[in-house]
Every structure is written in structure tokens, then in C-alpha cells.
Amino acid sequence: MKGPNKHLKGIITRCTNYKESDRIFTLISDDGIMKFIARGAKKPSSKLSGHIEPLNYIALYYRPSKSLNSVSQVESIHSFLEIKKEYNLILKAQYMMELAESLSSENDGNSSILNLLLSALKNIHISKIPTLDILIFEFEILKLQGFGISLFNCTNCNKELERAEHYFSSNVGGFYCARCFESKSLFSESVKVTIDQQLILRTISRKNYKDLINFNLSEKEIDNCRKLIRDSIRDIIGVQLKTVKFSDL
């Protein structure tokens, strides 16, 4: 006997056609990452038609199944047309969705990733510095999933870091104080980080996002910070994300 319909909200991250008229898609939902089949969604007459597209924020009813959950009803909440009309923003959105997907697990019942992704996608088209928004997204999503970067204390001895250049290791997700760095000869696995870059990351971790705008940051400074985070992401996921190769986001 078929179980009762369940309700979910989420963002479609990927979609493929299946058989003649079905679509299979991946959703980052308020219940973790999930896969669905929308039967007949390719038929123009279907009430599911038009809703099952990547980057759509949807509400759906589905029948849970051990293989693929089958969608019975769907409604678009937001289609992010403001992003879809600009190729460069689409790439940025794809990258953020791929990152969210890589760090999500099935049925984890945690809506925080969805909320973080939604808020990033809603803001990116009005942002003065979109790469800064991506840096904030990367920083926050790592923190949310328990891979937060340790910025204020030495990752080895826990001593508070003084205002100076320090070395960052993506392996351990943090900085070394001068003493630990020298005594442990950690040069090969660390990169030197300027005071300014540390300040940017610390400001993000304090959520003082408005202050960042007043810093008059150059793209290069933001990029340097993003390289640190990107190395951490690569170490956590174990692979480079596909979208990173395609464009310098």
C-alpha cells in the first residue's frame, strides 16, 4: 500500500531527463539532500511541467519510496529569474549549489544549509562585490558543517594569535603561531597569510558583513582569502569541485 504524501521545500540543484517524459532531479531540501522523479513532467500538459528546472525553489508533495521518491504535486516559490538572465551569475549559483550538495547528507533534517543557500542566492544579483558574497557563503557553510576555520588561536597549542602574519594549513583548517610553526617545521604544508587577509576572515566570522564593504577590498585580496577556503574545501571533499575548473568565480 502506498504511504501518505509528504511535503518538502527545497532548491533544485540538478535535473536530467528520464525515459520519454520523466525528469529526475536532486533537491537541497529542509530535510537534507534528496532525489526525486517527476513522472510525465516533460509533457507540456503536465501540471509538473515548468517547475522542474535547476535553480528553482519549490514546494512539493511526494510519495516516499525506497528507490526514487515520486513527486505528486509541485509549486514554484521562487525561480531566481534575476540570476538566470545573467550567465556569470548562473555560474556563481551553480558553484554554490554544487558546494552545498557536496557538503549535504541525506535526511539530515537540518534546514540550515538550505537557508544559507537561499539567502546567498537571493542577494547575489544585488551585491556590489559578488565574489565577497561567495567567500562568505564558503566560510559559513564550512562552519555549519563542522569544518569551521580556526582564526583566533593557534591550531596546535591553542595560544591566542597575535597581530602578525601567520601560516595557514588547509589540512588542519587553521593557523599556526610563530613558535609552533618554527618548531614543527610546517613550512611545506602551510601558506603565509597577511594581516589584512586574516582581518577579512575574522570580520566574516564575526558576521560584521557591513564592515567589509567599508574596507574597500580589492578583488585580489578577496581571491587570496578564497584560495585558503578553497584549499580547505578541496581537503574536506577530497576532490576539486567541477564548476571551479570552468571559471574563475
Chain residues binding Zn ion by CB under 5 A are: 154, 156-157, 177, 180
- Helix (H) or strand (E) holding 9, with range, is strand 6-18
Nearer to Zn ion, 26 or 156 (CB): 156
Nearer to Zn ion, 187 or 246 (CB): 187
> How would you label 59-68 residue by residue, b for 16+ Cβ within 10 Å and e otherwise?
ebebeeeeeb
Burial-class residue 119 by CB neighbours within 10 Å (0-12, 13-18, 19+). Answer: middle
* Least distance (Å) between residue 27 CB and Zn ion: 43
* Least distance (Å) between residue 159 CB and Zn ion: 5
Nearer to Zn ion, 56 or 156 (CB): 156
Cell of 209: 558583513
User: Going by C-beta distance under 8 Å and a sequence separation of 6 or more, which residues neighbour residue 9?
Assistant: 29, 30, 57, 58, 59, 60, 77, 114
Nearer to Zn ion, 115 or 183 (CB): 183
Cell of 196: 589584512
Nearer to Zn ion, 90 or 186 (CB): 186
Which spans in the chain are helix H?
Answer: 81-84, 87-102, 112-123, 130-144, 178-183, 195-205, 209-214, 219-237, 242-246
Residue closest to 97 by CA, chosen among 59, 55, 131? 55
Q: Could you give the CA distance from residue 211 to residue 238 in angstroms, rounded to a whole number? A: 33
* Least distance (Å) between residue 76 CB and Zn ion: 51
Nearer to Zn ion, 156 or 169 (CB): 156
* Least distance (Å) between residue 229 CB and Zn ion: 22
* Least distance (Å) between residue 203 CB and Zn ion: 23
